[in-house]
Amino acid sequence: MSEKKANVAIIGLGFGAEFIPIYQKHPDVNMYAICQRTQSKLDEIGDAFGVDKRYSSFEDVLKDPEVDFVHINSPIPDHGPQSIAALKAGKHVMCTVPMATSIDDCRQIVELVQETGLRYMMAETVVYSREFLFVKEMYDKGEIGKLQFIQASHQQDMDGWPNYWPGLPPMHYATHCVGPCLALTRDEAEYVSCFGSGSIREDLIPKYNSPFAVETAHLKFRNSDVSARIIRSLFDTARQYRESIDVYGSRKSFEWPLIEGEKSVIHTAKKPEPDIPELVEVPDYARLLPAEIQSFTMGGVYDAEDSQHLSFIQGGGHGGSHPHLVHEFVSALNNNRDPYPNASQSANMTCVGILAHESALKGGEIIQLPDFTFSK
């Protein structure tokens, strides 16, 4: 891009409002416009943050030539269609997870990015959380040794959540556990097999297009001998909210805290048995960010008790990832490079979940990932 700061328009102001002050303080981007279908909500947020350019129509945002990129935080069924429309309108796209809810929408996004040269990034929070950045640093330094196995989970109780979750089987929103598995080595999934377990309440089955209380998938890495296991549950399974990744290597292994607020564990090989596990305090990684936005790794818009977004109440604030997501995409635009994850990587992460659910319905049948989700 040129030396002119890119103009961002945030689409959806529930979770999306969290990012407004981050963009406002980032030195290399301009918080240009916000979009929300409900006028009262649009004006409330616009007034609170001093954003003058406001749209109640997504289509009108796309017609504005001053908008360089959109940051989509709309309901999940809108992610694919809105990303496709934005790319067709010549806008770069950052979109919250998942990328889309169908294989075809994922394919269209990848093809549009290839055809237009525009940038796309799925804003997967876990791969920029402090816990993930910690184990990624361990892996990159060689402290893990030979990587042997990864397991990850995303479990939560969806009772009481808003109705923007219609018709989503657990694995259709699996990027919080698929993403970190693949991001650790920057590999891709080649194929997946999944089993469903247990059952949810009869009234929920038609609404969520799935009978399963838990879905557990194994995915095979494309360029290594490593496989990973991922676990998803949404209803009728007792568990505190948890997004996690456990990494097992020949020299050291890392395990995410079992309970929110507790410490992580590092296991070191060849020590006396009682000394193998060690509780560790995971550091914050604000130092990787411009000074202006470092404070957002430890707090955000929804800090007041009466206005916390559910991602903070149940999700622990996404591990300080929000300013990292903003900085990664802005840096990618300004340096004319792909962000991580880019379009094909985002498609691979998303399609693993979609195909895993298909596999579960077929009794664990192995299903190959489509070629368009591979980078090479």
DSSP-assigned letters across all residues of 96-160 = ESPS-SSHHHHHHHHHHHHHH---EEEE-SGGGSHHHHHHHHHHHTTTT-SEEEEEEEEE---TT
Question: Rounded mean pLDDT of 248-256?
Answer: 98
- Please state, in angstroms and rounded to a whole number, the distance separating the CA atoms of residues 344 and 367: 18
Asked whether 265 and 252 are in contact (CB, 8 A), the reply is no
In the chain, the domains with their CATH numbers are: 6-125+307-341 (3.40.50.720), 127-287+352-373 (3.30.360.10)
The mean pLDDT value for 258-273 works out to 96
Q: Is the pLDDT of residue 303 over 80?
A: no
Average pLDDT in the chain: 93
DSSP state of 213: S
**What's the average model confidence in pLDDT over 146-156?**
96
Residue partners of 213: CB distance under 8 A and separation at least 6? 197, 198, 199, 200, 233, 235, 236, 237
Q: What is the mean pLDDT of residues 109-119?
A: 98
Grouping H, G, I as helix, E, B as strand and the rest as coil, residue 288 is: helix
pLDDT tens for each residue of 162-206: 665 556 888 999 999 999 999 999 999 999 999 999 999 999 898
DSSP 323-355: HHHHHHHHHHHHTT---SS-HHHHHHHHHHHHH
Helix (H) or strand (E) holding 43: helix 39-49
For residue 222, pLDDT beyond 90: yes
Does the pLDDT of residue 364 top 50, yes or no?
Answer: yes
Residue 67: phi and psi, rounded to 5, are -80, 120
Q: What is the pLDDT of residue 310?
A: 44
18 half-sphere exposure, CB direction, 13 A CA radius:
29
Look at residue 56 and tell me whether its pLDDT is greater than 60: yes
Tell me the average pLDDT across 145-159: 94
